Copies of this chain bind each other. A is one copy, B any other.
Amino acid sequence: MQAQPHVVIVGGGFAGLWATRGLARAPVRITLVDRRNHHLFQPLLYQVATAGMSAPDIAAPLRHILRRQANVEVRLGEVTGIDTDARRVRLADGVALDYDILLLASGATHSYFGHDDWAADAPGLKTLEDALAIRRRVLLAFERAEAAATPAERAAWLEFAVVGGGPTGVELAGTLAEIARHTLRREFRRIDPAQARVRLVEAGPRVLASFPDSLSAKAAAQLQRLGVDVVTGKAVAGIDPHGYTLDAGDGRTERVQARTVLWAAGVAASPLGALLGVERDRAGRVPVADDLSLPGRPEVFVAGDLASVRQPDGRPVPGVAPAAKQMGRHVAAAIRARLAGRTAPAFRYRDFGNLATIGRMAAVVDLRGLKLSGLLAWWFWLVAHVFFLIGFRNRLAVLTNWAWAYWTYQRHARVIFGGSDAQKETARFPGPPP
C-alpha cells in the first residue's frame, strides 16, 4: 500500500475537489490540504454577504464530502513552503508532506491593484469571513443611518457603492437595492431605507464585459430597474472611511460621501503560486503546459484560478467554477494516464456558456449564441446553481430559503454577529468627517 504514489492536492475548491474525486479509483494515496475545513460554493457567496443565506448553506466539510473515498486523507493546514526538487510541501504546523505528484489549486483572492490601503474601507468577497463582514457592514449602515444625528451623516450611511461591474459586483449591487427597497420596508422609524442609493461603479465602458454587448446593455437596464445607479467609464481614484473619489479620466473628479463601499473589481492568484519559483503572469497566475503540468516539472500540476491557460484561439480560460472543475477532472485523468503508462492528454476547455444573476427575477445568460435575459434567464440561473450545489441537504435548504425569500422578500440571515457588539462597532467606524 505504501508503495502507491502519494498525490498531494493543495486546495479544496472546485479544481482540487474535482481532481480528488477523479482519483477515487486510481492506485494512489491522496492527501488533500486546505486551510479551511470546508469546500465553499463560491457562486453563492454573495447570498451570504447579503443575508439571504447562512454560511453553512453554501459550505460543506471536506471530510464529510470525501468520507467514503478511502484513498483520501483530508488535512487542515496552511502551506508555507514547496520544495520542488525534494518534492516536499511544508505546513505551518511544522509537518512536511513528501509527494510523488503535486496539484496546486489554491485559487485566487481579491486584489486592490496596488491600493492595499483600501482594503479596510472597501472589503472584498472571497471567503465566508469576507461575506459575514460585508453582511455586518451593510446591516449596520442602516442602523447608523437610523441613529444619525445630522442629515449629512444619515445620507452618507445610506450611500452604498460597489466597485467593479463584473458578475460579483452586479450581484451585490442588485441585491443591495432589493434589500433597501423591499426587505427593510416598514422596519425603520426615522429613515426610509428605500431612499438609500446603491451605485455600481465600473471603470470600463460596460458592466459584465465578458458577455456580448447586447446582454451588458440588458443587464444595465435590469439593474436600473431594480434601483441601482450604474456608473460606467469612471475609475475609483481613492477610498477612505468617509467616501470615495471618482475619476472620469478627463481631469474632473467627483467626491462621494459614502460609508459603505464594497470591492468587486480585482482578482489576483493565490500567493502560493510564488512558492513554485517560476515566472508568473501579471495577475500572479502560473503558466502551465497543455496537460496543466508545470513545464519541466511533469509531477507538478496547477489548476483552477491559479493556472494561466490559453484556449486554442488564444483567449484565456476564464476564472469560473466550470473551468476549475474541468481542470480538476483533467488533472485526475492526466495522473491516471501517466500511471497507466500513457501520455497525458491536452486540456481543452469546454465552454457551456456564461450566466450572471442580477437580482430578483433578473439575470443574463449567454449559451454560445442563445442569449436570454430577465425572468427566463433567472430561472435558468437558479436551476443551474441549485443543481450544482454540493450535498443534497444544502440543495433542499437553498431551495426552501429561496422560495420563502421570493414570496416574502425576506432574508432570513439578517443577524449581526462577530464583532456585532455596538460599542466595538462604534469604535471601528470613525466619526463624522472633519
Name the CB-closest residue of B to A416.
B37
Which of B64, B93, B188, B426 lies in contact with A414, CB distance below 8 A? B64
- Chain A: how many interface residues by the 8 Å CB criterion? 62
Fill in one digit per residue for A169-185: 1 if any B CB lies within 8 Å of its CB, else 0. 00000000000000010
Fill in one digit per residue for A47-84: 1 if any B CB lies within 8 Å of its CB, else 0. 00001001111011101100110000111111000000
Query: From residue 129 to 150 of chain A, which have CB atoms closer than 8 A to chain B?
Result: 129, 132, 139-140, 143, 146-147, 149
Query: From residue 196 to 251 of chain A, which have CB atoms closer than 8 A to chain B?
Result: none
Name the CB-closest residue of B to A418.
B418
Min Cβ gap A402→B in Å is 12
State the CA gap A61–B411 with chains docked (Å).
Answer: 10
Contacting residues, chain B, for A51 (C-beta < 8 A): 56
Name the CB-closest residue of B to A37.
B416
Given contacts A64-B414, A188-B63, A417-B128, contact A147 B75 (CB under 8 A): yes
Interface pair A61/B415, CB less than 8 Å apart: yes
Interface pair B143/A76, CB less than 8 Å apart: yes
Copies of this chain in its oligomeric complex: 2
Contacting residues, chain B, for A73 (C-beta < 8 A): 189-190
Interface centre among A56, A132, A146, A187 (most CB of B within 10 A): A56
Contact of A383 with B by CB under 8 A: no
Fill in one digit per residue for A391-408: 1 if any B CB lies within 8 Å of its CB, else 0. 001101100110010001
Contacting residues, chain B, for A149 (C-beta < 8 A): 95
State the CA gap A186–B72 with chains docked (Å).
Answer: 12
Contacting residues, chain B, for A415 (C-beta < 8 A): 37-38, 55-56, 59-61, 128
Interface pair A63/B400, CB less than 8 Å apart: no
Name the CB-closest residue of B to A92.
B423
Binding site for B on A (CB under 8 A): 35-38, 51, 54-57, 59-61, 63-64, 67-68, 73-78, 92-93, 95, 127-129, 132, 139-140, 143, 146-147, 149, 184, 186-190, 393-394, 396-397, 400-401, 404, 408, 410, 412-418, 420-423, 426
The 13 sampled A-B contact pairs (Cβ below 8 Å) are A37-B415, A51-B56, A54-B55, A54-B56, A55-B415, A60-B415, A67-B187, A78-B421, A128-B415, A128-B417, A393-B404, A394-B412, A400-B400
20 extra A-B contacts, CB within 8 A, seeds A37-B420, A129-B418: A35-B420, A36-B420, A37-B414, A38-B414, A55-B413, A59-B417, A60-B415, A67-B187, A68-B186, A73-B189, A76-B147, A77-B147, A78-B423, A78-B426, A92-B423, A127-B417, A393-B412, A394-B412, A397-B400, A418-B418
Q: Which 10 A-B pairs have the closest CB atoms?
A: A54-B54, A63-B187, A56-B413, A35-B422, A128-B417, A76-B143, A78-B422, A59-B415, A78-B423, A92-B423
